[in-house]
Structure 1
Amino acid sequence: MKRITVITGILAAAFVLGTGYSLWNYAGNRESVVISGYIEADDIHVGSKIGGRVLKVVAREGETVRAGETLLLLEPGELDASLAEAQANLRQAGAQYSLLNAGYRSEEIEQAEAVLKQAQAELAQLTSKPRHRQIDQAMTDWMEAKAQAENSSKFLKRVEDLSKRDLIARQELDEATVKKTEAEQKVKATRQHYDLLLAGTVEDDLERPRQRVVEANAKLRQLRAGYRKEEIAQAKSALEAAQAKVQRIRTQLDETVIKSPVDALVEAMVLQTGDLVDPGKPVATLLRTGSLWVRAYLPEAQLRFVHPGDRASIRVDSFPDRSFSGGVRRIHRQGGTAPRNAQTDEARVLQMFETEVMIDDPDQVLRPGMSADVAIPKG
């Protein structure tokens, strides 16, 4: 509201009406600038980034709340389960990173050394055995296999004869047949090995033992060198990603608990349990405690007398016998625009500059919307 309170006008009204306002006790005080306006408060609109269904309304309209107090709860939905899963993945990623970063255990290295020694010993045994002993052993194995095959063949004939006369079970005939087949295969294998030795080559027999030595040696070198930097870096990245996911879900869960950011009065809260709230939509309006101020209008002619930081006295109609202290917070640099054809001094008086004056209200008796008169000593 744009209103100029002229000191002489107040004196006249006080004299006629006898309201005791002379000079508001301003009487005769020409050392103050008096301006008028309305009380306002810094309001805060609180809400949730994720939205959801209202689980519980904690604060009610008209209640005073402290900073951090819960105003309203939203249903967490699947966020609790998502958090538990993310935490499990985080523990797994942390364990993997710790394992790689710490390197291989000494027990693993000792075991790999033992495997290598065993493979080397087996290879050495094969390569150092005299050739004639290998041939003799191969001949012996072949002859034993032939003898077993002949016995298996004779035994099968007897079993077949008994089977024809239904003196034995079919299973015994099948078993005898299998044994004969296995014996014949063994004869074939031992004969091939004997022929290879006679031909002067056992390289195929040495290939696998040599490969085992190579593999065991490579494994031991890897264990002694530790994990590659790339593997450790990858595990660290996985750990950081898991940490970020847990934090992201926790942040979302925090958004289901709507709290007051400051000490305030709950001005508006119209939700009920079960209501749906859109993401980013305000769910309550708060008036910051101690944030009352007067929006008044300073005439251009008085502009030079008032500065930000100046102390002020404020009176309201609801408490005519009481004065509230305060201070000038801000004077807007852009003034109100007078009509273009206003060329006189009287017209230029109508040019106003919006002024914000803070009010000290320790008893919290003032309310936004009250009209107020502000007296500011001339600086």
Structure 2
Amino acid sequence: MKRKIMIPVAVGVVAIVAMGAYLLIGEHENRGRGVEIYGNIDIRQVELAFNDAGRIQHLDVEEGASVHPGELLAQLNAARYADAVERAQGQMRQQRQLLAKLLAGSRPEEIVAARARVAGAEADWRNAVINYHRARVLYRRHYVSRESVDDARRTLDATAASLREARQAWILAVKGPRKEDIAEARAALQADEAALALARRELADTRLYATAPGVVEDRILEVGDMATPGTPVFTIALNNPVWARAYLPETRLARVAPGMRAYIENKDLPGRRYVGWVGYVSPTAEFTPKTVETTELRSQLVYTVRVYACNPTGALRLGMPVTVLIPPQSGSVPLPAHPCRS
């Protein structure tokens, strides 16, 4: 009887052990393969527009053309902006000469001339003093009227004032310009230099350059159109590096972190695997999008993962469905400042 009871118990124990072993082996194999998730290459675009208003003079690229950073794509009619630069240059040169004049101070000849005017004013004043005293003496002897004395006094006062003015002018010539006048001229020169820099910047902004590598997806304006700031001229599709947006189940969240090495594959590109890195893991859970196919139920929560990869040949197209493989125990990828530049 005991033997009959022990047989089912032993069978149950064996089944439990076998199931546990199966699960452990399966989990070990799953971890050995790493994390496999699915997503699409993100569509990233840049809309390029002029910073200035003007009529488009020429466009250098067509739709579908590949562009690289710094490549000239379009240009406005720059005549008005070139004239503004010349005017700002003239104003700056004029103010620079004025500042140089103030810094140089009075010329020796100006100081000598001011001293000579003082000497002349002194001579006039001494003569006025003599005439005034003579008029007073003659008035007391009744040879001249009181009016003659008053006129001599006014002449004396006028020559004294002229002498004081000449002496002050001579002192100013010796001292040179005031420091406040020099500071004002220097500030005006800085304002003119800033105006020139702005005019040159506006002239440079009549040229439109590519800001990133990509493909011209749309040419919105044409030659002769009036461009304004904020109105796109081109739409550039960015294709290097590409971003793969995938969705990570919560059960695998602990196995993925930013900086881990990853690989991107596509079934239409057999035998080609693109080396990338995990750039971002969303801190917020969301429901799985209906357009994404996973092996788990769609009702479970997932986390958005963004995986970067260099795409030098452009084979990874925007919107393409891809498989992202994250090897087990991946370490952080040491990346240069511009990982996809040659």
Fold equivalence (TM over 0.5) = yes
1:220 aligns with: 170
Give the Å deviation of 1:73. Answer: 0.6
Task: Determine if contact 1:301/1:349 at 8 Å carries over to the other structure.
Answer: no
Q: Does 1:366 align with 2:316?
A: yes
Give the Å deviation of 1:81. Answer: 2.2
TM-score w.r.t. length of structure 2: 0.74
SS in 1 for 2:106: coil
Q: For 1:71-110, what aligned pairs fall within 5 Å after superposition? A: 71-76=73-78, 78-110=80-112
Give the Å deviation of 1:111. Answer: 1.6
Q: Distance in 1 between matches of 2:63 and 2:117?
A: 77
Give the Å deviation of 1:92. Answer: 1.4
Q: Does 1:279 align with 2:281?
A: no
| 1:296–1:347 CA distance, 2 compared to 1 (3 A) | closer
Q: For 1:31-110, what aligned pairs fall within 5 Å after superposition? A: 31-40=33-42, 42-76=44-78, 78-110=80-112
1:149 aligns with: none
Q: Deviations over 1:10-30 (max 9, x none)?
A: xxxxxxxxxxxxxxxxx9884
Q: Distance in 2 between matches of 1:70 and 1:194?
A: 94
Give the Å deviation of 1:212. Answer: 2.6
Q: What residue ranges of structure 1 are gaps of 5+ in the alignment? A: 1-26, 137-192, 339-345
1:302 aligns with: 252
Task: Determine if contact 1:60/1:266 at 8 Å carries over to the other structure.
Answer: yes
Give the Å deviation of 1:351. Answer: 1.5
Give the Å deviation of 1:280. Answer: 1.3
TM-score w.r.t. length of structure 1: 0.67
Aligned AA (2:208):
I
Give the Å deviation of 1:263. Answer: 3.4
Which of 300, 319, 328 is the aligned partner of 2:278? 328
| 1:372–1:106 CA distance, 2 compared to 1 (3 A) | same
SS in 2 for 1:73: strand
SS in 1 for 2:273: strand
| 1:104–1:273 CA distance, 2 compared to 1 (3 A) | same
Larger Cα-atom Rg: 1
Give the Å deviation of 1:32. Answer: 1.6
| 1:264–1:117 CA distance, 2 compared to 1 (3 A) | farther
| 1:63–1:211 CA distance, 2 compared to 1 (3 A) | same
Give the Å deviation of 1:294. Answer: 0.8
Q: Distance in 2 between matches of 1:214 and 1:95?
A: 32
Q: Distance in 1 between matches of 2:174 and 2:41?
A: 77
Q: For 1:174-323, what aligned pairs fall within 5 Å after superposition? A: 202-288=152-238, 290-323=240-273
Aligned AA (1:297):
Y
Q: What residue ranges of structure 2 are gaps of 5+ in the alignment? A: 1-28, 289-295, 330-342
Fraction of identical pairs, as percent: 29
Aligned AA (2:254):
R
Q: For 1:79-158, what aligned pairs fall within 5 Å after superposition? A: 79-128=81-130
Q: Distance in 2 between matches of 1:200 and 1:299?
A: 112
Q: Distance in 2 between matches of 1:200 and 1:278?
A: 77
Q: Distance in 1 between matches of 2:33 and 2:134?
A: 130
Aligned AA (1:114):
A
Q: Distance in 2 between matches of 1:261 and 1:198?
A: 89
| 1:93–1:201 CA distance, 2 compared to 1 (3 A) | closer
| 1:324–1:234 CA distance, 2 compared to 1 (3 A) | same
Q: Distance in 2 between matches of 1:61 and 1:198?
A: 99
Task: Determine if contact 2:132/2:153 at 8 Å carries over to the other structure.
Answer: no
Q: Does 1:351 align with 2:294?
A: no
Task: Determine if contact 1:86/1:245 at 8 Å carries over to the other structure.
Answer: yes
Task: Determine if contact 1:299/1:349 at 8 Å carries over to the other structure.
Answer: no
Give the Å deviation of 1:216. Answer: 1.0
